[in-house]
Amino acid sequence: MSAEKRAPLTRAPAHPSVQAPARATQAPSPLGANPELEHLSKLYRQMLLIRRVEEESARGYAEGKIGGFLHLYIGQEAVGVGAIASLRPDDYVITTYRDHGIALAKGMSPRALLAELFGKVTGCSRGLGGSMHMFDKEHHMLGGYGIVGGHIPIAAGVAFASKYRGDGRVTLCFFGEGAVSIGGFHEGMGLAALWKLPIVFICENNEYAMGTPISRSMSVEDVSLKALGYGMDRDRFFADDVLEVERRIGEAVQRAREQGTPTLVEVRTYRFRGHSMSDPAKYRTQAELEEHKNRDPLARARRRLVESGLGEPGDPRLDDLEKSVEAEVADAVKFAHESPEPGLDVLEQSTYSGPFAY
């Protein structure tokens, strides 16, 4: 615990340039007089930011700037943004490897995220983690994890610590429906229910575990039924409306915070891209994809803003908001391109706290 034992890596503050210039990160406030619309515009901006960062990620992958696995969040933005909107800033979030959108929604800067994807030392995990390991301790984003279901007991442990300390924090644990069949899900759920931990388990059911539809992998179609065996509260809904996601997850968060009990929430969503960049998604029809794209929660939120008066001819507010997102993403891409790669010196420092144990 003593500071002098720590390797220089942890003593060093986060790279000072990870945070973009303040003007780019500040969401404009186009609707100051209408708190509800202002809130929706803020969530819309987050969703748009995620969509655009993911599109740039896909481009970076195609250009060979990003290696390894890349699992995009496009289509699912309303889940992460809506759920995290219901939290306090000091609440914890932990998720699986489809983690870019969740990390951005929890407050990670696009600079830190894209630099990580580009394998740069300015990335959130100094280029050591990559796409699947988005960690941001400052924002209580406790990572993306690459082993399906393996992070679910960890999430229960984070919530255990909150209960142990009585800090009043809630943990959100995201995972896909593909994780529901593995042991980690059941052990994490069982312990959270047994010990009454302040946690919300959010199953992002995007219908396909890689390319296998849920009908071929589970004996029940309703994932939320899994809560029954643990005596846990449950909920189930579609993620068409980001505000509805916020409200419904918010109920579970409130239950966790006030009563200290866990909830399993199945949020039904859809990814517009393949499982990862190497997946052309031939296991589903174009018609099915189009049907879901017509329900795009991002477009829905935008329509609502337009219908509320933004974006009328001569009204620059929506346009300004979208331009600010473009500027922020362009800044982050440039930052990621220009940042240096990590040196070999980070390897041993990052493996152990203190001297390397050989």
Partner 1 sequence: MIEEMDRDDRVFLMGEEVGHYQGAYKVSEGMLEKFGPKRVIDTPIAEAGFAGVGIGAAIVGLRPIIEFMTWNFSAVAFDQILNNAAKMRQMSGGQLECPIVFRGPNASARQVGSQHSHAMEHIYAHVPGLKVVAPAFPADAKGLLKAAVRDDNPVLVMESETLYGFKGDVPEGEHVVALGKAQIVRAGKDITIAAYARTTHVALEAAATLERAGVSAEVVDLRSLRPLDDNTLVASVERTHRLVVVHEGWPYGGVGAEIADRVQRLAFDALDGPILRVTTLDVPMPYSAKLELACMPQPDRVVATVLRALGREQS
Residue ranges that bind partner 1, judged by CB under 8 A: 1, 5-7, 9-10, 92, 94, 123-129, 133, 135-137, 142-143, 145-147, 150-162, 164-165, 183-184, 187-188, 190-191, 194, 346, 349-358
- Nearer to partner 1 among residue 139 and residue 275 (C-beta): 139
Q: How many C-beta atoms surround the C-beta of residue 349 within 10 A?
A: 17
The least CB distance from residue 341 to partner 1, in Å, is: 13
- Nearer to partner 1 among residue 34 and residue 353 (C-beta): 353
Alpha helices in 16-34 (DSSP H): 22-25
Spatial separation of the C-alpha atoms in residues 168 and 162, rounded to whole Å = 7
The least CB distance from residue 256 to partner 1, in Å, is: 15
The least CB distance from residue 137 to partner 1, in Å, is: 4
- Nearer to partner 1 among residue 147 and residue 299 (C-beta): 147
- Nearer to partner 1 among residue 67 and residue 213 (C-beta): 67
Q: Counting beta carbons within 10 angstroms of the beta carbon of residue 322, is it exposed (0 to 12), middle (13 to 18) or buried (19 or more)?
A: middle
- Nearer to partner 1 among residue 19 and residue 29 (C-beta): 19
Residues listed for the chain? 358
DSSP character string of 195-227:
TT-SEEEEEEE-SEETTEEGGGT-S-S-GGGGG
Q: How many C-beta atoms surround the C-beta of residue 355 within 10 A?
A: 9
Q: Which residues of 83-94 are buried (b: 16+ CB within 10 A; e: fewer)?
A: bbbbbeeebbbb
Provide the phi-psi class of 49: left if phi over 0, else alpha when psi is between -120 and 50, else beta: alpha
- Nearer to partner 1 among residue 216 and residue 358 (C-beta): 358
Q: How far is CA 9 from CA 4, 119, 272, 342, 347, in A?
A: 12, 17, 38, 12, 10
- Nearer to partner 1 among residue 11 and residue 216 (C-beta): 11
The least CB distance from residue 47 to partner 1, in Å, is: 26
Whether the CA torsion 147, 152, 153, 157 is positive or negative: it is positive
Spatial separation of the C-alpha atoms in residues 67 and 96, rounded to whole Å = 18
**DSSP helix, strand, coil percent of the chain (3-state; round to 5):** 50, 10, 40
Q: How many C-beta atoms surround the C-beta of residue 286 within 10 A?
A: 8
The least CB distance from residue 283 to partner 1, in Å, is: 27
The least CB distance from residue 355 to partner 1, in Å, is: 8
Spatial separation of the C-alpha atoms in residues 82 and 88, rounded to whole Å = 13
The least CB distance from residue 165 to partner 1, in Å, is: 8
Give CA torsion, residues 160, 174, 37, 72, to 10 deg.
150
- Nearer to partner 1 among residue 127 and residue 260 (C-beta): 127
The least CB distance from residue 7 to partner 1, in Å, is: 7
The least CB distance from residue 65 to partner 1, in Å, is: 19
- Nearer to partner 1 among residue 113 and residue 298 (C-beta): 113
